[in-house]
Amino acid sequence: MSKRQELFLKKYKRKQLFIKFVQIFSAILVLGIWEMLARFNFIDTFITSYPSKIFITIVNLFKEGNLIHHIMVTLGETLIAFFITGVVSVLISILLYRSEILSKIIDPYLTILNSLPKVALGPILIIWIGANKKSIIVMAILISVIVSIQSISVGFKNTNKSRIKILKIFGASEWEILKYAVIPSNYKIIVNACKINTGLCLIGIVMGEFLTSKSGIGYLILYGSQVFNLDLVMSGIVILLIISMLLYSVISSIEKHLDC
């Protein structure tokens, strides 16, 4: 390894460490200011709660044996919705890529459906599917799948035309073009769609749990708001943030592995 490469790697590592430091320091600073404002009664802790109280609430939930159950319910539903969304998005995007006419027919409907507030469909889903996990998962899929289809299908359509022409010259079939050109060229777009889907699916699951659930983090937040327990509400929000961060980290790790 040359000295120039070593210097570049050192600079890159220092940059990454600096970014991590600023991220962690910013989070600690915000939490510290929040805690101090609460301790000195500059804010109403009944409305906002504060970090140490939230931590105690989460610990008590864990000791009572409820926390893991609620986390696993929400996480399980989110993962099911995430995987279904991913598979459906890729398959429909391939179909739209293969058929330009179908793509032009469906495109305005996708845009209209994407602008529709999905929570408005909640009562309909409960009537059609029932007040159960299925309706919650379907809610999450509806929220995430259209955005995912739009982003992936645009990537497929913008695949390097020269690469496709070369494959056609050598007699490649449509499936081989998809396998060796279209999908590999757009794996970053697919991964980015997955990153977005983790958040959207989690939002959809929580919205579904607000409407019909007796377990899950969404249920905890709703119950806390009904009994004016803002510590429980804020604890639920913090847990959702942690779940979201963990899911995002997993997708980012997969992306780094693909880059290698």
> So what's the pLDDT on residue 159?
81
Both 22 and 55 in a single domain?
A: no
| pLDDT-derived band at 87, boundaries 50, 70, 90 | very high
> So what's the pLDDT on residue 2?
67
Both 171 and 127 in a single domain?
A: yes
Average pLDDT, stretch 217-228?
A: 88
| pLDDT-derived band at 260, boundaries 50, 70, 90 | low
The 10s digit of each residue's pLDDT in 101-129 is: 888 888 888 888 888 777 778 788 888 88
User: What does pTM read for this prediction?
Assistant: 0.82
Is 70 exceeded by the pLDDT of residue 181? yes
Quote the mean pLDDT of the chain: 85
Average pLDDT, stretch 9-34?
A: 87
Average pLDDT, stretch 52-79?
A: 88
> How many domains, the chain?
2
Structural domain boundaries enclosing 32: 1-43
> So what's the pLDDT on residue 45?
81
Both 35 and 66 in a single domain?
A: no
> So what's the pLDDT on residue 130?
78
Is 90 exceeded by the pLDDT of residue 84? yes
Judging by beta carbons within 10 Å of its beta carbon (0-12, 13-18, 19+), is residue 220 exposed, middle or buried? buried
Both 89 and 150 in a single domain?
A: yes
Is 70 exceeded by the pLDDT of residue 259? no
Check residues 77 and 171 and name the one with the higher pLDDT: 77
Both 31 and 139 in a single domain?
A: no
Q: Which of these ranges, 12-16, 116-120, 125-129, 232-236, has the smallest mean pLDDT?
A: 116-120
Both 55 and 35 in a single domain?
A: no
Both 149 and 79 in a single domain?
A: yes
Both 28 and 136 in a single domain?
A: no
Both 21 and 143 in a single domain?
A: no
- Residues 6 or more apart from 140 whose CB is under 8 A from it? 77, 78, 81, 85, 200, 201, 202, 203, 204, 205, 207, 208
- String of b and e for 35-71 (b: at least 16 CB within 10 Å)? eeebeeeeeeeeeebbeebbeebbeebeeeeebeebb
Both 39 and 60 in a single domain?
A: no
Is 80 exceeded by the pLDDT of residue 18? yes
Average pLDDT, stretch 136-161?
A: 87
> So what's the pLDDT on residue 110?
84
Contact 213, 219 (CB under 8 A): yes
Both 239 and 147 in a single domain?
A: yes
> So what's the pLDDT on residue 1?
58
- Residue 115 is part of a domain; what is its CATH number? 1.10.3720.10
Q: Which of these ranges, 6-10, 150-154, 186-190, has the smallest mean pLDDT?
A: 6-10
| pLDDT-derived band at 79, boundaries 50, 70, 90 | very high
Is 80 exceeded by the pLDDT of residue 43? yes
> So what's the pLDDT on residue 106?
86
Q: How many whole angstroms separate alpha carbon 137 and alpha carbon 141?
A: 6
Both 16 and 125 in a single domain?
A: no
